[in-house]
Every structure is written in C-alpha cells, then in structure tokens.
C-alpha cells in the first residue's frame, strides 16, 4: 500500500483473461464470462491485454476480483488481516480490512496488548479478569496476526 501503485480494472472476456501470464485466481472457482480483472502495478490492464503472454506480468498483481474499488493502492490506507482460514485442501483465504475498519482493529489490538501487559505484571491476576479478557479477545475483530499471540499469553496467566 505504501508503494503508491496504480490500480486498473476492467471487464474482460473470460478466455482472454485466463491467457494473462501470472493471473491469480482460485482453483476450482467458477467465474462469470465476462469477468472483472484487477491489476495492481505499473502496467495497466489495457497494456497487459495487448500482449497477455509476457512474463513480466508476473511481477505485479493480476487477479479476478470483484471487491477492490480504488484507483491507487495507497487509497486503501491502513490494512489489517482479520481472518485466515482453510477453504479447501491446500487453499487458504484471508479476510482483510482497510481504512477506518483496519485502524479500529489495530487500535483494539493495541488496547488488548496493554491490558494483557497489566495482567502479566500483576503478582497474581484474578481468574475472573483473565477469563474475561480471554473471552473478549476471542470475540474481538482484531488483527489475525496478533490474536493467537494474545491467546497464548492469556493461556500462560
């Protein structure tokens, strides 16, 4: 996001879109024809479609996508991974947030970190405080990067 990369997209014939070198899509998923193609990087979708076989397209993100609506990657602002799950054998999917939702998730995570630090510093934290904080962390929409670390810290109290 900080690289300030341009974003371009367009609706393309499925067969043409599948011919783009480096295209990312989920195996086994079905896509409409035509399909929306999203490109994040210095080359636009228009340029890529002129010579879809070129190997340098692998150096940027070219994907089938229906949810990105920015003209530049920096427009997204802050990014946080909120969930990472298995959707099928060998396939992982992440759920992320940008902007205000990401800021809120990261801020809440920092608050949990501070509360955990206070409990860890206590000579003997109450079981009620530990259980309450553990349940709040489990239910919270916070970064999926820190959530398991906080759960591990709770488990040690």
- pLDDT for position 150: 97
pLDDT recorded at residue 96: 87
CA distance 89 to 71: 34
Question: Which pLDDT value is given to residue 104?
Answer: 95
Higher pLDDT, 31 or 46: 46
Per-residue confidence (pLDDT) for residue 61, from 0 to 100: 85
Residue 73 has pLDDT above 80, yes or no: no
Continuous segment of H or E residues that includes residue 59? none
Question: Which stretches within 7-56 are classed as H helix?
Answer: 14-18, 45-50
> How far, in whole angstroms, is CA 9 from its chain's centroid?
19
Cα–Cα distance measured from residue 100 to residue 96, given in angstroms and rounded to the nearest whole number: 12
Share of the chain above pLDDT 70, in %: 93
Q: Does residue 99 carry a pLDDT above 70?
A: yes
Q: State the average pLDDT for the chain.
A: 88
How much is the pTM? 0.63
Q: Are 83 and 94 in contact (CB under 8 A)?
A: yes
Asked if residues 43 and 64 have their Cβ atoms less than 8 Å apart, the reply is: no
């Amino acid at each position: 996001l900080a690289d300030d990369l341009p974003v371009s997209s367009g609706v393309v014939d499925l067969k043409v879109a599948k011919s783009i070198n480096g295209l990312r899509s989920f195996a086994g998923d079905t896509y409409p024809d035509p399909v929306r193609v999203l490109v994040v990087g210095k080359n636009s979708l228009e340029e890529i479609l002129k010579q879809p076989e070129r190997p340098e397209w692998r150096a940027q993100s070219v994907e089938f996508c229906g949810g990105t609506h920015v003209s530049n990657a920096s427009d997204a602002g802050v990014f946080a991974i909120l969930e990472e799950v298995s959707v099928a054998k060998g396939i992982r999917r992440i759920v992320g947030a940008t902007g205000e939702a990401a800021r809120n998730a990261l801020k809440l995570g920092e608050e949990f970190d501070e509360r955990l630090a206070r409990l860890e510093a206590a000579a003997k934290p109450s079981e009620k405080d530990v259980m309450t904080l553990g349940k709040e962390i489990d239910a919270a929409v916070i970064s999926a990067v820190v959530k398991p670390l906080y759960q591990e810290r709770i488990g040690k109290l």
